[in-house]
Structure 1
């Protein structure tokens, strides 16, 4: 413990500065008649201002004191840590660190007593200020936290308003204005920059550059745009202090929602070429945006292939975006970027398949060049060559000897008829009559080899409603004898008519010649070399009425060129005469 002899200093001071010329003895008469000690000198004095931050408090007593009681009676407001230098007549309090700027009051109560046990005559108290009086003891304030907010268009154009989130909860804050959204914090006085930087926090955390544009303005410049549809909070703890070391009175906490997702990449168009088959083959199909137009006649190729062109509203990350694009049914092809990485062109390795709906999906993994993902998965589709529509049906049935049409559609008879009818037996606008209503003449005359020549009165003609796949349709047809005795019937030859000359090809009219093993020109071996096969059914012109019956069947394995199966199995029964 240090001891400072303040009375000697005081005597020297009084000897040097005695304006009234009083004797020294009279000045040292400090003890009242009742013997109570008094404080005869104190520093800082009442109301002193603009003191240095290293100021100490010193007190001189009028008589020897029980100094421990005086230490216990000493207090300082605001509460301040420090240490004492003591003697019988003096007390000095030195703060353990530099005092913050502001107002202070120190007090010694009457419990401070002399060595002979007499209390201090009066409570002693004095106040002083450290630093300039205008700011001493007052607290700095945050007057504004500014961000850009507005419509998507305003954000993109850089014309969004700068709003103070202290005054309201904003939910339309820009991701960028136009590319980033600067956050600016304004204080009402010059601030201690290091304390502010350590006190400020943004959640979710962002990587940013902190720039002081003035002693009262801090600019927070993010390294990348804010994330869309995310609420950010800005907090400043009370440890932030001004240049005079006054701290914020209380922490600041405000938040805002990035509701204007102006930098989220979007698909602005997705185009393919569509049109008639002739236009597509000629390379003059129409480029159509499937985002806004339903396409059911997309070109299979235009003329070789039909690229899918996807346009984004901003540059994209090439590799990640390509991996986010899928096409169903799956296609192989090549990607090509253009227009500053805003246009992605996919060129298939092969033509599209007729009648197939293709779906293009872009997942939310697709990301822009500045690392912002699309907001959600998007899917768009088109049909190549035309919609499949209704399933194919048998439109009409007859025999070749009739006046049954060689092209779609055929016309039937409401009353039935024979092999010489000027139209088909039946068309799908009519009900199917009983088997005795339809007569055909078998080609076999019972005259041996002379019966092997084809006769068209037992060659059947089937007209379909759509262009049919020739293989599946031919394999779906069979002819059976329905009345005993049973026979063996096989297809001998066929001719397709009313065919498409261009892709996807296919035909609508089929003529069929059948042979029966039991026919007169056939021997033990059905269709032997000597006869070159039979093209006629067993003789029937000598059979009684109501006999025999044959049924021609087309099952649902028959498909049209677009892959649609026959609507239902078709059965048609006739009488041979």
Structure 2
């Protein structure tokens, strides 16, 4: 019985040796090295695959090692390394271990090692360091690292952005400040790679910041379009980010992450008001329903119909289809008037019908705030207001209704619209109007036109220091001009004279008169004036104030005054002296 078992063991051992020998030959391992364990108690690696110098292996290649005796496998796992580093997991028995990478290997060369700290179950160290190198694929397959050649975005004007006909510019090489918000149907960001890319890694490795949901559309294996689900926010900076986990079809990753940005400077999808129309005319016309429709965005309306027994609608036209609920939430009329709303024209026309008549002589202001959004969820860029007077012009004493400078978006007609926070000479509206509190002088900044170099170009009049006064009534232009003066209130004092003026918003019938005057002042101390207010023969005078942007912040101050000798065409005096202090910068 014992002899039979021994014979069986010998047969199995011979078969095992034969199999190992064949495997060694197949994998270029010297069989003689395998059999050195006979008579040697030191643990050794007898079979390992891949072997030294193996080439053109698949990307899912695992690594297997067989020892000549039972091992402390945990010590062998701890002694095992792969370079470049690869994440993976182990399978093992007492005489073997197998390492399988978690992800597919990149094309290129790898080296794995097992140090002598790998011990047998009896505590003996591995006889010698084991190391083998192999190549996944051919070396020529790996090639160069893939690169991002371009990230192209749509740019241009409002018109070209809305028709997708503007130029496409590369944000990697160009500083882009006029990117489109998008268009109703098209707003792609195009990413061009130098090589065919692995699509899954690209999908997982691209992001936009601030986060915008998007889908990817592949144009070719090396060109992909990012299609955002919504328009970009106006006046925002968008970053396109690609991580280094992105790889080409050969598994070669980007050398480093990419991050490039662009500024959304073309406000092509921002909704705007195109008209606000209501009925105007005489009391008889209005009562009979034959009042003439006028647009208060284009005309200063002081004879809006009060209403009749049927209705008195205000029709508001938008540039784009609007979200009904949110646009109504952003609508207001002051003083407050309740009413009903009706949408038409594909949600581009809103009709507001008041529940009651307007009050005679009352000025009403209609505002659409930034709460209002388009149907594709683009909000108004800023609060927008227009006003009208119901029933005719006010019969009260005239007042200065608004003040600004000519370089602003300060109206040439009554009424002017101010800004609650004030503003500088480049603001979209006037400095102030009579519905707002007066702020400190630092909140209102103009820029003098004379920078002190005395050249002819410098002596030419500029409009950043030409003040505009808007009156509530049609004014007697002579009496009103004589009532206006400007003085510098911060030392050192200067001598200022009114050089020229221009009236606008004038009525062409008796008793005539105008409501808006633009004033150019000359400062004796300015560089072009010499010893007189109009001393520069080459320019015919210097109608500018001294430029003071080299002065400390909050300095100097100028005060414009209109005293009560100013009168309207009905000989009504200004209700009280008007004084307004500004900072020259």
**Equivalence map 1:318-337=2 (5 Å):** 318-337=324-343
Distance in structure 2 (CA, Å) of the matches to 1:137 and 1:7: 42
Q: Indicate which of 48, 59, 78 corresponds to 1:53.
A: 59
Give the conservation status (yes or no) of the 8 Å contact 2:60–2:101: no
TM-score after normalising by structure 2:
0.52
The answer for the alignment partner of 2:224 in structure 1 is 218
The answer for the alignment partner of 2:208 in structure 1 is 202
Distance in structure 2 (CA, Å) of the matches to 1:82 and 1:171: 49
The answer for the alignment partner of 1:101 in structure 2 is 106
The answer for the alignment partner of 2:318 in structure 1 is 312
Q: Deviations over 1:488-511 (max 9, x none)?
A: xxxxxxxxxxxxxxxxxxxxxxxx
Alpha-carbon RMSD across the aligned residues, in angstroms, is 5.1
> For 1:135, what is the secondary structure of its paired residue?
helix
Residue 263 (1) aligns with residue 295 (2): no
Distance in structure 2 (CA, Å) of the matches to 1:108 and 1:250: 28
Q: Indicate which of 150, 160, 163 corresponds to 1:154.
A: 160
Give the conservation status (yes or no) of the 8 Å contact 1:4–1:85: no
Residue 339 (1) aligns with residue 345 (2): yes
Distance in structure 1 (CA, Å) of the matches to 2:106 and 2:315: 68
- Residues 310 and 84 of structure 1: CA distance in aligned 2, closer, same or farther (over 3 Å): closer
Distance in structure 2 (CA, Å) of the matches to 1:298 and 1:390: 18
- Residues 128 and 356 of structure 1: CA distance in aligned 2, closer, same or farther (over 3 Å): same
The answer for the alignment partner of 1:358 in structure 2 is 364
Distance in structure 2 (CA, Å) of the matches to 1:26 and 1:291: 99
Q: Deviations over 1:83-131 (max 9, x none)?
A: 699999xx9975555651222243779999xxxx9998xx998754212
The answer for the alignment partner of 1:516 in structure 2 is none
Give the conservation status (yes or no) of the 8 Å contact 1:158–1:178: no
> For 1:198, what is the secondary structure of its paired residue?
helix
Residue 371 (1) aligns with residue 377 (2): yes
The answer for the alignment partner of 1:380 in structure 2 is 386
Distance in structure 1 (CA, Å) of the matches to 2:25 and 2:345: 94
Aligned length: 381
Q: Deviations over 1:458-488 (max 9, x none)?
A: xxxxxxxxxxxxxxxxxxxxxxxxxxxxxxx
> What's the offset of the Cα at 1:298?
2.4
Give the conservation status (yes or no) of the 8 Å contact 2:34–2:46: no
Distance in structure 2 (CA, Å) of the matches to 1:261 and 1:372: 10
- Residues 41 and 363 of structure 1: CA distance in aligned 2, closer, same or farther (over 3 Å): closer
> What's the offset of the Cα at 1:251?
1.8
Distance in structure 2 (CA, Å) of the matches to 1:373 and 1:320: 10
Distance in structure 2 (CA, Å) of the matches to 1:99 and 1:327: 66
> What's the offset of the Cα at 1:160?
2.4
Distance in structure 2 (CA, Å) of the matches to 1:259 and 1:4: 81
Larger Rg belongs to: 1
Give the conservation status (yes or no) of the 8 Å contact 2:60–2:105: no
> For 1:134, what is the secondary structure of its paired residue?
helix
Q: Indicate which of 172, 175, 182 corresponds to 2:181.
A: 175
> What's the offset of the Cα at 1:53?
2.8
Give the conservation status (yes or no) of the 8 Å contact 1:297–1:383: yes
Give the conservation status (yes or no) of the 8 Å contact 1:100–1:244: no
The answer for the alignment partner of 2:298 in structure 1 is 292
Structure 1: unaligned runs, 5 residues or longer = 17-23, 31-38, 393-563, 569-577
The answer for the alignment partner of 1:239 in structure 2 is 245
Bigger shift: residues 268-277 or 129-138: 129-138
- Residues 327 and 49 of structure 1: CA distance in aligned 2, closer, same or farther (over 3 Å): same
Distance in structure 2 (CA, Å) of the matches to 1:71 and 1:10: 23
- Residues 194 and 349 of structure 1: CA distance in aligned 2, closer, same or farther (over 3 Å): same
- Residues 331 and 211 of structure 1: CA distance in aligned 2, closer, same or farther (over 3 Å): same
Distance in structure 2 (CA, Å) of the matches to 1:345 and 1:29: 98
- Residues 96 and 355 of structure 1: CA distance in aligned 2, closer, same or farther (over 3 Å): closer
- Residues 209 and 139 of structure 1: CA distance in aligned 2, closer, same or farther (over 3 Å): same
Structure 2: unaligned runs, 5 residues or longer = 1-12, 37-44, 118-124, 399-571, 577-585
